[in-house]
Amino acid sequence: MIVVLAYHSIQTDTYAHSVNPEVFDKQIRWLKRHFEILSLIDLDRLLHHPRRPAKHKRGFASITFDDGFENVLTNGLPVLAKHGVPGTVFFPTSFAGTSVTNTYGIKYTYLDWNQLHAMEKTGFFTIQSHGHDHLVLPEVKDEQTIGTELVRGQEIIRNRLGKTTDFYAYPKGKWDVRSRKVVGRHFRLAFAGDGLIDERSCNPHSLPRVIVTRSMSFWKFKLSLHPWFWKLKNRRSSAS
């Protein structure tokens, strides 16, 4: 089993997708103790060449952030650097340097290209794709528009950061068979939400993640890294 954690904001505010920096630090410290933490490049390699985790580790884990809020640089990166673990930001290219006031009335600034460049340079972070306009793919009318959304995101990152993007995260974690097919033409791996990755039976273009939210207690965080937690949860939701 492989755990991919999906964070959004690392901040002390009341936004549901914010995780307090101190809580984040505690989670990463615990994760590092129990899991072998991989970059997505290493995770991709692992899916193609399965191996056992290092001695005394329960499994593999990778840390990702969606949307590219500036607080990931100011509050998240120092924690990853302190623990010496890699992370990935899935970035929607049209958001660069803009800001938004969310439904909680909280103003958020997105990373700009200088910051994204600096993050990529640290060696702890890699910037990957979250599309161009953060389109929720199952809601898009035609395949051509999906293709344009994906290619634009990749091209802009290539022009700005001089790198290719092989990994994609579905905005709002939403995908369907049609969008997964298009995503499969452009990316090696694509990530959604709600679950752990079973390397023996996963589809590389709809890999589940564990979405970490503000309301998640430390106990619940640890619980959600167990395969049986998701088995039980999925059984319950299919029964209801």
Binding site residues, Zn ion, CB under 5 A: 66-67, 171
Query: What ranges in 66-204 are assigned the alpha helix state H?
Result: 70-71, 77-83, 113-122, 143-161, 177-186
CA atoms within 13 A on the CB side of 42: 17
Q: Which residue, 25 or 66, is less far from Zn ion as judged by CB?
A: 66
Minimum gap (Å) between residue 22 Cβ and Zn ion: 24
Minimum gap (Å) between residue 67 Cβ and Zn ion: 4
Q: Which residue, 25 or 67, is less far from Zn ion as judged by CB?
A: 67
Query: Closest-CB residue for Zn ion?
Result: 66
Q: Which residue, 66 or 120, is less far from Zn ion as judged by CB?
A: 66
| 3-class secondary structure per residue, 122-146 | HCCEEEEECCCCCCCHHHCCCHHHH
Minimum gap (Å) between residue 63 Cβ and Zn ion: 16
Minimum gap (Å) between residue 68 Cβ and Zn ion: 9
Two structure tokens written together for 221: 């965080």
- Rounded to whole angstroms, the Cα distance separating 180 from 191 reads 10
Q: Which residue, 86 or 193, is less far from Zn ion as judged by CB?
A: 193
